[in-house]
């Protein structure tokens, strides 16, 4: 029976990915900054472990506790919604520490065992904001675009060891906690020069009837990335993501 390690499982995409793989008879290691045993259905194939992807010691402990795994899903991430002028460098660094460097650190931590076995799959969850620029998301988009570039280059260097590396790109997912997560990093709110722009953006989002992404869409895309060797490098997840990728 195969084992998958998934980061950022406390809610949203990560939680649904963990449920999906449990339902399909995988062993699942679901990680969270603050583990919650009640977040997922009880199963003898599930372990909920603590992980802070920005902390090297936390990563080392996790890898030791997890043991051999067959697949890694880097899903842990934080949101950022603000104009650049209203974003402190501390907030920008926090976003990159989790979204970009956290993904790189976790990937680096599992590569040795994959390389030795000459097998393994790494799936990095980013976003379709990297395909189409949107207002007030410059720092967040940059953190995810960096992961796209990292992933595509890494795939080339790991190919000789039969390690597959893939990207899953979700679209806009109102059911997740991205909005709350992003607002928590706004600190003093928007710079006054961008107040009107922010109001326009929020108004458009509130009135939008556009296609959206569900957490189940992301779980399906990750399943494809892990289990289908012929899957493409970039897999859009969600109706809006599919439409954008086809445009």
Q: Which residues are catalytic, by number? A: 140
**Which residues share a beta bridge with 121?**
71, 164
How many CB atoms sit inside 10 A of residue 188's CB?
Answer: 8
Q: Which residues pair with 123 in a beta bridge?
A: 73, 166
Give the separation between CA 217 and CA 219, rounded to whole angstroms. Answer: 5
Cα 23 to Cα 49: distance, rounded to the nearest angstrom: 19
> What stretches of the chain adopt beta strand conformation (E)?
3-6, 27-32, 46-50, 71-74, 121-125, 164-170, 234-237
The string of DSSP letters for 100-160 reads: IIHHHHHHHHHHHHHHHHT--EEEEE--GGGTS--TT-HHHHHHHHHHHHHHHHHHHHHGG
CB contact at 8 A, 96 and 138: no
């Amino acid at each position: 029976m195969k084992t998958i390690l998934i980061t950022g499982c406390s809610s949203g995409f990560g939680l649904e990915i963990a449920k999906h793989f449990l339902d399909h008879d995988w062993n699942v290691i679901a990680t969270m900054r603050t583990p919650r045993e009640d977040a997922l259905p009880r199963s003898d194939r599930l372990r909920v472990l603590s992980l802070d992807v920005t902390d090297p010691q936390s990563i080392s402990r996790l890898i030791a506790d997890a043991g051999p795994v067959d697949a890694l899903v880097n899903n842990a991430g934080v949101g950022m919604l603000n104009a650049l002028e209203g974003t402190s460098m501390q907030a920008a660094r926090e976003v990159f520490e989790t979204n970009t460097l956290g993904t790189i650190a976790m990937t680096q931590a599992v590569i040795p065992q994959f390389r030795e076995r000459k097998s393994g799959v790494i799936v990095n969850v980013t976003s379709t904001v990297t395909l189409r620029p949107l207002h007030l998301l410059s720092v967040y988009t940059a953190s995810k675009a960096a992961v796209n570039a990292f992933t595509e280059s890494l795939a080339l260097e790991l190919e000789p060891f039969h390690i597959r590396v893939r990207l899953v790109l979700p679209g806009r997912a109102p059911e997740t906690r991205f909005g709350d997560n992003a607002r928590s990093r706004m600190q003093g709110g928007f710079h006054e020069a961008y107040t009107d722009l922010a109001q326009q953006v929020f108004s458009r989002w509130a009135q939008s009837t556009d296609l959206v992404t569900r957490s189940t869409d992301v779980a399906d895309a990750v399943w494809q990335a892990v289990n289908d060797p012929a899957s493409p490098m970039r897999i859009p997840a969600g109706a809006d993501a599919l439409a954008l990728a086809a445009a």
